[in-house]
Amino acid sequence: MSIYQIELGEEILRVEGLKVWFPVRKGLLDTILGKPKLYVRAVDGVSFNMREREIFCLVGESGCGKTTTGKSLLRLVPVTSGKALFKPRKETMEKLERLGVTPSDGGWVDIFNLPEKKFKPVRRDIQMIYQDPYGSLNPRFKIKDILEEPLLVHGIGGSKEERMELIMKTLERVKLTPASDFVDRYPHQLSGGQRQRVAIARAIISNPRLVVADEPVSMLDVSIRAEILEVLLNLRKELGMSYLFITHDLAIARYICDRIAVMYLGRIVELGDAREIIAEPLHPYTKALIAAIPDPDPKNRIGYRYLPIKGEVPNAINIPPGCRFHPRCVAYEEAVKKGTALKDLCPRKEPPLADVGNGRKVACWLHEAVRKAAGLE
């Protein structure tokens, strides 16, 4: 639970078995020799759900598929398989029904299963904030043009005056005040923090239900990170959107997120309440991540700290068999030394993400609940 705890609403998103595999381009020689087609398995079977006003965090090292997972919800990457059931707002639903989309019981729409034309109205409800505020704004548009685009595309605000009013209001919401000072400027005239506020304004101007925030503060100066996070939290309070918050920084995750999902090589290995996971991690990988958080107290810096993890991330083309974490796992190493049953299980069978009670899930054979869920005990 975040320290900015607020009441969560109904469920609005259910992702089930999401897979995003990018084919590796083969050379001519490989084609002639009939080598099998290889895939980068960026996201390899991810399931989670989100509620209204929830801040759900995906954490993991770079290359673990967290950004790809986020982008797939906006259909910016080709989805290989899986479902994403989303509950659009009422107006969007009406638009969709006019286009001939029938929602399932409870108003769910599978956004991966819509043709692009029918997905367009949903884009208003799912928006994205990018990591790099220097790259995410068109350098040739003034701030007001950048913010007017979503309104024009989705037909929000009937007249130019109405749109300008909305733009002003949104700029004030992200604390770019006075708004009239900013509308006629170009992105390169703003600082990084100001640009990121513009990017946030662009994402929220259409009043979305879900915002995918891809490391929105990691490229900013530390001194303005807190301000930007504050803006995001205030917006959630005022407008009631949910955030899929992508970060590699567990400290930030703990600060603002309700729940955390830890990803490793394209899969969620642990999921649950943010503070509980950080206080008491269950998966060996999560333990290693938490051990790597820098300690602000200089007294604790006695030589090198021991990190309970080995080696480096394998590449996503040749994912290790069985539990994909086992070659780096300290617990597995111990099991091999002691000769316990896990020594054969880990490299052979992939653990499912199983409920261990209290809303927490983990995918590791160390836990009895996981072995039971797989029918092994």
Partner 1 sequence: MVLNMSPQTRLLLRKLWRNRSFKIGFPIVLAFIILGLIAPLITPYNPVKGNLSEALQPPSSKHWFGTDQLGRDIFSRTIYGARISLIVAFAGILLAVIAGVLYGAASGYAGCNVDEALMRIIDILLAFPDILLAILVAAIVGPGLLNVIIAVGAYNFPQFARITRGAVLAVKELEYVEAAEAIGESSFSILFRYILPNSMYPVVVHGTLRTGASILTAAALSFLGLGVQSPTPEWGAMINEAMKYLDIAPQMWIFPGIFLTVTVLGFNLMGDGLNDVLNPKIKE
Tell whether residue 330 is a contact of partner 1 (CB under 8 A). no
Query: Binding partner 1 by CB under 8 A: which of 41, 87, 95, 124?
Result: 124
Secondary structure of residue 39 in the 3-state scheme: strand
271, 311 contact by CB (below 8 A): no
Residue closer to partner 1 (CB basis): 43 or 260: 43
Q: How far is the CB of 131 from partner 1 (least distance, A)?
A: 8
Which of positions 150-179 make contact with partner 1 (CB under 8 A)?
Answer: 150, 153-154
Q: Does 120 bind partner 1 (CB under 8 A)?
A: yes
Rule CB under 8 A: say whether 135 interacts with partner 1.
yes
- Closer to partner 1 by CB, 24 or 153: give it: 153
279 lines the binding site for partner 1 (CB under 8 A): no
Contact call for residue 74 and partner 1 (CB under 8 A): yes
Are the C-beta atoms of residues 129 and 137 closer than 8 Å to each other?
Answer: no
The span from the CA of 203 to the CA of 163, in Å, is 15
Which one of residues 149, 172, 249, 276 is an interface residue with partner 1 (CB under 8 A)?
149
132 binds partner 1 (CB under 8 A): yes
* Of residues 247, 244, 243, 238, the one with CA closest to residue 220: 247
Which window, 8-16, 128-136, 248-256, 324-332, contacts partner 1 (CB under 8 A)? 128-136
Q: Which of 95, 163, 202, 209 binds partner 1 (CB under 8 A)?
A: 202
Give the span between the Cα atoms of 206 and 88, in whole angstroms.
13
Q: Tell me the closest approach of the beta carbon of residue 170 to partner 1, in angstroms.
A: 14
> Of 148, 242, 137, 203, whose CA–CA distance to 156 is shortest?
148
Q: Is 138 in the site for partner 1 (CB under 8 A)?
A: yes
Which CB, 167 or 363, lies closer to partner 1? 167
Minimum distance from residue 270 beta carbon to partner 1 (Å): 29
Q: Output 139 or 339, the one with its CB closest to partner 1.
A: 139
DSSP letter at 358?
T
Q: Cα–Cα distances in Å, from 251 out to 197, 255, 279, 309?
A: 22, 6, 12, 19
How would you label 106-120 residue by residue, b for 16+ Cβ within 10 Å and e otherwise? eebbbbbebeeebbe
Stretch binding partner 1 (CB under 8 A), from 95-103, 127-135, 156-164, 278-286: 127-135
Using rule CB under 8 A, residue 137 touches partner 1: yes
How many chain residues are in contact with partner 1, going by CB under 8 A?
25
| Contact assessment for residue 132 and residue 83, using Cβ atoms and an 8 Å cutoff | no
Alpha-carbon Rg for the chain in angstroms:
22
The answer to whether the CB of 161 falls within 8 A of the CB of 244 is no
**How many other CB atoms are there within 10 angstroms of residue 192's CB atom?**
15
Report if residue 123 touches partner 1, rule: CB under 8 A: yes
> How many Cα atoms within 13 Å fall on the side-chain side of residue 365?
24
Minimum CB separation of residue 301 from partner 1 in Å reads: 37
Residue 194 engages partner 1 in binding (rule: CB under 8 A): no
Instruction: Kindly list the residues in this chain that would bind partner 1 in the complex (CB under 8 A).
Output: 74, 76, 120, 123-124, 127-128, 130, 132, 135-140, 149-150, 153-154, 186, 188-189, 199, 202, 206
